[in-house]
Amino acid sequence: MSDLESDKFVVDLSSDIHFYLVVKQLVKDFNNEVFEERVSVLKPDQKEVLIEEVSLYLLSVCNSSITEFSQLMYVVDMPEKILAPFLSSGQQGWDDFTYQVLKREYLKVLIREKYSN
C-alpha cells in the first residue's frame, strides 16, 4: 500500500506541505514524545518510513492498553464502522488499518486547509 490508495481516495503525501502537515497532525493526536522524535525528523521522500512509524506506534498502543488505544482512536476520529471490524478480526489487516488512520489525519489536514482560508 505504498501509494496510500484505497476506496478511490488517495492520500497524497507527494506535496511537501501536506507531508509536514500530516506529520504535525499525527504528532498532535498521538501526543507521544518518542513518536514525535521519530517522525519530526522525516523528510517528504520518507513516506514509507512514516507509514512504518505510524504502524509501529499504533501496534504498541494496541498491545499495551485497549483503553488507551480506544482513546487514541477517538482522538483520531476513527469511525466505528472501520474500527469494530478490525478489532473483532484479531488485528488482521494491520496495513489497511494503518492506512485508514493516515487517511483520517490527511482528511483533517485537507479540511482545515480548505476552510481556514
pLDDT of residue 43: 95
What is the pTM for the complete model shown? 0.85
Q: Domain residues for 88? A: 10-115
Domain membership flag for residue 25: yes
Residue 85 falls inside a structural domain: yes
* Dihedral sign of CA atoms 14, 20, 21, 26 in order: positive
Q: How many domains does the chain have?
A: 1
Exposed / middle / buried, residue 3 (Cβ in 10 Å: 0-12, 13-18, 19+): exposed
5 falls within a domain: no
Per-residue pLDDT of the chain (117 residues; tens, 9 = 90+): 444 444 545 677 778 899 999 999 999 999 999 999 999 999 999 999 999 999 999 999 999 998 999 999 999 999 988 888 887 876 677 888 999 999 999 999 999 988 886
Residue 41 located in a structural domain: yes
2, part of any domain: no
